[in-house]
Amino acid sequence: MANAKSIFITGAASGIGRETALLFASKGWFTGLYDLNESGLKEVSELIGEDKCCYSTLDVTSSDSYKAAVAHFSEHTGGMMGALFNCAGIMYMGSVDEVTLEEQLRTMRINVEGIIIGLYASLPLLKKTPRATVISMSSASAMYGVPDLAVYSASKFAVRGLTEALNIELERHNIHVTDIMPLYVKTNMISSQKHKAGTLDKMGANLAPNQIAEVAWRAVHQKKVHWVPTLKLKTLKLLSRYLPFVERPVMKILSR
C-alpha cells in the first residue's frame, strides 16, 4: 500500500536518528531505519514495532548500498517517501596536524557525498510523493569556520549550500529541502571525542537528541530553509548578519 507518511532515516541506530524515528513513529509515520549498526537498528525496530517500520544496513558512501536500501524502503511504502532525513554524520575534533588525512576525507565522504548519493537514490520516490521533504543535518559550524573542526565545518557549509540551492531547484517538483543547524548535541559523537574543541568548552553540549527530533518534525510541516535551534545561536546568527566584522574575533575567543 502506498504510504506518503513515511520517512527514510540514515544514522537511525542511535542519537538524533534514533529519536527522530521514535518520534515520527509515535505520530503515525512509517519509519525506514538505516545505519551500519545492525544491532542498534534491531533495537529501535523492536521499540517501534516491526509492523510500523523496516530496517536494513546502509553505507551512505556506497551508491549500490544506497540504491538497495531505497528499494527495500520502497517495497514497504508502495514507492512513496514522505521525507528523507540525512542524519548520518561523523566528526573528528582536532587541528589539521592532529586529525589524519584519512579521517578528514572520511568526514567529507559521509557528511557530504552521503547526502548527494542519497538524494540521487531517493529522488524517484520523492517526486512521486505529494509534498515530500528532504531534511539534512547541517550545523552551527556552517555559519563561520570553526577551529579544530575545519573539515567538519567545511562539510556542513557544503550541506548548507546544497540545501539552499536544492530548496529552489526542487520546488518545481513540490519537494521542500531544508536543514537543521544546531550547536553541539549530547550524543556519543560528541562525548567520544579525544580532543575537545574550545567552542565545545565555551558553548557546551546542551541540546538533547529528542529536541532535534522535534525540530525535524516541524521541518516536514513548515517551509523554512534553515532551522536554528536555541536563542543563543539565533542571536549569534543575527550578529553575523548585521555585524559581519565581529565574526572572526568572536570565533577566536570561543575557540580558545
How does pLDDT run across 116-167, given as a tens digit for each residue? 999 999 999 999 999 999 999 999 889 888 889 999 999 999 999 999 999 9
Residue 105 lies in a domain: yes
Please say whether the dihedral angle defined by the alpha carbons of residues 217, 220, 223 and 227, taken in this order, is positive or negative: positive
Confidence class of residue 98 from pLDDT cuts 50, 70 and 90? very high
Element (H, E) at 34: strand 30-35
CA angle 245, 251, 255 (to 5 degrees): 165
User: Is there a domain that residue 73 lies in?
Assistant: yes
C-alpha Rg value of the chain to the nearest Å: 18
What pLDDT was estimated at residue 156? Answer: 97
User: Can you tell me the distance from the alpha carbon of 89 to that of 59, in angstroms, rounded to the nearest whole number?
Assistant: 11
Does residue 1 form part of some domain? no
Whether 95 maps to a domain, the answer reads yes
User: In the β-sheet with 6-10, what is the strand arrangement from edge to edge?
Assistant: 53-57, 30-35, 6-10, 83-86, 132-137, 175-180, 226-227
In a domain, 122, yes or no: yes
Q: Say which CATH number the domain at 66 has.
A: 3.40.50.720
Number of domains in the chain: 1
Is 119 among the domain residues? yes
Across 17-42, average pLDDT: 98
pTM assigned to the model:
0.90
Question: pLDDT per residue over 47-91, tens digit each?
Answer: 999 899 999 999 999 999 999 999 999 999 999 999 999 999 999
- Closest to 84 in 3D by CA, of 31, 25, 26: 31
Give the range of the structural domain holding residue 115, as residue numbers without chain letter.
6-254
| pLDDT value of residue 1 | 58
Q: Which residue has the cell 515530500?
A: 132
